[in-house]
Structure 1
Amino acid sequence: MYIGFDYGTANCSVAVMEDSKPKLLPLENNNQYIPSTLCAPTRESVSEYLYRFMGIKPSNSIGEQVLRRAMALNREEDIEVVAGDLQFGQAALELYLNDPEEVYYVKSPKSFLGANGLRDGQISFFEDLVCAMMVNIKRTAEQSLQQDIVSTVIGRPVNFQGIGGDSANQQAEGILSQAAKRAGFKNVCFQFEPVAAGLEYESTLTADKTVLVVDIGGGTTDCSLINMGPSFRHLSDRSASLLAHSGQRVGGNDLDIHLAFKQLMPQFGLGSKTLRGIDMPFNQFWNPIAINNVAAQTEFYSDANLRALEKLRHDAADPQLLSRLIHVYHETLGYQIIRHAEEAKIALSSHTHHTVNMALMQDLFEVDISAQQLAEAIETPKEKMRDLVIEAMAQSQVKPDAIFMTGGTARSPILRQCIEQQLPNIPIVSGSYFGSVTAGLARWGECCFG
């Protein structure tokens, strides 16, 4: 049995082929999409839980060292890891929101996998994170199917990072592949996410077309220009029909981060000054919400930075704002701020104004955001997405017959208008914003394992 597996930045989903059509499987409370989140009592609990309660051994000596260190730290802190301690998806989010200070919460670990400068221990830990999520999904899918799943096609972006090139891609794909094999998949192959989405759109065509697939997900934007249609549909080797690819780590998370920075972080001191009239340092307001940047998160939540924040509060003209930022530090609230920004972004796709209500300690405040302010806040990531379309067109020098937009972030009218302006008079079509990649991966599974 094989599945198509979209291990996404925002959500994960899997599909099987049933009666020659992809069928997405329920993964959490009958929902076909499970948020890409994990929650545990401590960081060290993840590796111990994976070993003790999921029965997954480390893949190498580095993994064994990570596990031994984790178990030792848990004993030292008098933390007993018990069944049910590791939560996934919406359950993980709710656990974090109920008590953010007392848990270890991770959203979108896929964003970290291609990061530069990761040490062997960090790579091994990320492999544990991904493996735990994959085990949960695989076992849930097997329970639904009442069959063992032994093979999978996993989607991957064209580029996991904006920098790092092939080495970053190899590192990220290596983590995903090793995690999948530890999770119990005997056969693992990969397909570009925009190509997979294109395969699903191709199933609806009655004539051959050249299609630009623009996949704007939570973590990456990818473009593929593909010749597709009835003449290509049953080919096991599609390399000749793939005309161009471009991709970068810029997606829905980046829109949320930029909106949070511009519109929410002033409530935490961004733009304020010290008593001597000096601007507060930029990084102190960017790093806590840069949830897709390992280095930024590590720097903000370090012991040394707490001392720096305390000094900034002492020197601040408005110390109350810095007190809010210190509260973010103590309770690891960066994810909550981004969640507010994401909700605002979604609301502003169909409304002209949205009010964010925030509560910190006994401190209640509101932030009104307009659709115009959203457009201004996301200008930088929007331009990066536009440049990827330009790059794909430059590679191929071929004008598409249609543009197929997919990915949750592709619903944004601002981004759709941007692409319309770049490629005028070319029809833009959409299928399932969330399910096209998963369905296409299942279709590609027929070529790999059918």
Structure 2
Amino acid sequence: MAACGLDFGTSNTTLGTIAKGRTALLALEGSEVTIPSAIFYEPRGGSRIGRAAIGAYVEGLDGRLMRSLKSVLGSSLLNEITQVGRERLSFRQVIAGYIGAVKKRAEAACGHELTQVVHGRPVHFVDGNEAGDRKAEEALREIAHEIGFKDVIFQYEPIAAALDYEQQIDHEEIALIADIGGGTSDFSIIRLGPGHARRADRAQDILANDGVRIGGTDFDRQISLRRIMPQLGMGSPMKRKDLDVPSSFFHDLASWHSINRLYDPAVLRSINEVRRDAAKPELIDRLVKTVEERRGHALAGAVEAAKIGLSDVPETTIPLDWLERDLEVSFGRHDLAGDTADLADRIAARIGKCLAQAGINAKAVDAVFLTGGSTKLTHVREAIAASLPDARAVTGDSFGSVGLGLTIDAKRRFGH
């Protein structure tokens, strides 16, 4: 069957197909069904995607790593031209290159061409900007056609997760689906159950959809700004009274999609000019070294790994001995919760909006289905649970539920 479900995520991507009436995610990198949404461009042409892309960067190979590609959708960055290897490409072309490579891998895995797709999308690509939202979806639609898909249908990611969860229940209920991913947090309230699953049109079962552009990369960014960037001079004083070191360098360094901006020679000259007028130039030396050695993505990766690690251990340490002997930053779950409490609260606040949109109160929700990597953060789960104290919490496949649900939807829409 030529149909598939594609979950192009900020952090990871999955693609599922239908074979002999059954839906399944395809292995896209070795035996792994998830592939990091990353691409590495080699200086003399050619590219690598996924873990191979990140591995090339970590190994110190010459080239350019790009991650969190989905974050530029709906922003002015989408058509911005950037240097990758010998070419100058727009971010839109970079996204097309990545998704196109994923499609080819999927076709090799299933043994036939894929021409029909149910493509996942967040409830809002851009908060409070309907025009930007439409532009983001249209860009993804155009890219999908360019790489060979003939029929393209979009489905909200939390609705897709609901379709996956529905296969697990043998009764009817109202569920709130919380999909907290790398770039967005999306919620849907939907009636589920065996009787509903047989319906061709599920529109009447969907009671509410809402979301906010906050996800795992925002938590990474906040941790980096609070814990790491002060070690590189953020917030330190200039020699001139009442002035601090400009913060823009640090905000770019803490944001996956803007790290490469710092590698422009003109930016490095600006940082060195700041160093000359800094009251603590030894801290700015660390920033200079990070940029000169192009360690930005490695630093962001270390922050992300530390955040993930705190799901299993109470304390963690990020070594910075490549900057300075014995330099390290230690923090724990309590610090993480404190640094990112505002983000968790803003995510949970969307549940109230979703309930109001559905016209029901919290007691009417039977279950909360949690999916997306950021639902592993303890304080995020607690914030969601506090909004729906009577609902049963169900944990789905953190990285696979949306892709599986999109594939279920593809079977329903394109199936024979």
Structure-2-length-normalised TM-score: 0.91
How far residue 201 of structure 1 moved from its aligned partner, in angstroms, is: 0.5
How far residue 17 of structure 1 moved from its aligned partner, in angstroms, is: 2.5
Q: 1:408 aligns with which of 358, 365, 373?
A: 373
Give the partner amino acid of 2:56: L
Moved more, 239-248 or 194-203: 239-248
Q: 2:66 aligns with which of 80, 94, 106?
A: 106
Alignment of 1:8-407 (within 5 A): 8-41=9-42, 80-81=44-45, 85-99=46-60, 102-116=62-76, 119=79, 125-163=90-128, 165-277=129-241, 278-292=243-257, 298=261, 300-360=262-322, 365-398=327-360, 399-407=364-372
Q: Is the 8 A contact 2:160 2:404 kept in 1?
A: yes
Q: Is the 8 A contact 2:79 2:92 kept in 1?
A: no
Q: Distance in 1 between matches of 2:198 and 2:57?
A: 46
How far residue 443 of structure 1 moved from its aligned partner, in angstroms, is: 0.6
Secondary structure class of the residue paired with 1:231: helix
Partner of 2:86: none
How far residue 274 of structure 1 moved from its aligned partner, in angstroms, is: 2.2
Q: Distance in 1 between matches of 2:80 and 2:267?
A: 25
Q: Distance in 1 between matches of 2:81 and 2:383?
A: 41
Q: Unmatched 5+ residue regions in structure 1?
A: 43-79
Q: Is the 8 A contact 2:79 2:91 kept in 1?
A: no
Q: Distance in 2 between matches of 1:120 and 1:369?
A: 37
Q: Distance in 2 between matches of 1:151 and 1:225?
A: 27
Secondary structure class of the residue paired with 1:28: coil
**Residue by residue, what CA displacement relative to the aligned partner does 1:142-161 show, whole Å, maximum 9, x if unpaired?**
22211221111110000112
How far residue 314 of structure 1 moved from its aligned partner, in angstroms, is: 1.0
How far residue 168 of structure 1 moved from its aligned partner, in angstroms, is: 1.4
How far residue 297 of structure 1 moved from its aligned partner, in angstroms, is: 6.2
How far residue 31 of structure 1 moved from its aligned partner, in angstroms, is: 0.9
Q: Distance in 2 between matches of 1:324 and 1:200?
A: 47
How far residue 208 of structure 1 moved from its aligned partner, in angstroms, is: 1.1
Secondary structure class of the residue paired with 1:207: coil
Q: Distance in 1 between matches of 2:387 and 2:65?
A: 39
Partner of 1:53: none
Q: Unmatched 5+ residue regions in structure 2?
A: 83-88
Q: Is the 8 A contact 2:78 2:91 kept in 1?
A: no
Q: How many residues were matched structurally?
A: 405
**Residue by residue, what CA displacement relative to the aligned partner does 1:31-54 show, whole Å, maximum 9, x if unpaired?**
111100001135xxxxxxxxxxxx
Give the partner amino acid of 1:415: V
How far residue 363 of structure 1 moved from its aligned partner, in angstroms, is: 5.1
Give the partner amino acid of 2:256: I
Partner of 2:85: none
Secondary structure class of the residue paired with 1:218: coil
Q: Is the 8 A contact 1:39 1:105 kept in 2?
A: yes
Q: 1:428 aligns with which of 389, 393, 404?
A: 393
Give the partner amino acid of 1:86: S
Q: Is the 8 A contact 1:13 1:34 kept in 2?
A: yes
Q: Is the 8 A contact 2:365 2:388 kept in 1?
A: no
How far residue 264 of structure 1 moved from its aligned partner, in angstroms, is: 0.9
Secondary structure class of the residue paired with 2:197: coil
Moved more, 210-219 or 323-332: 323-332
Q: Distance in 2 between matches of 1:263 and 1:20?
A: 50
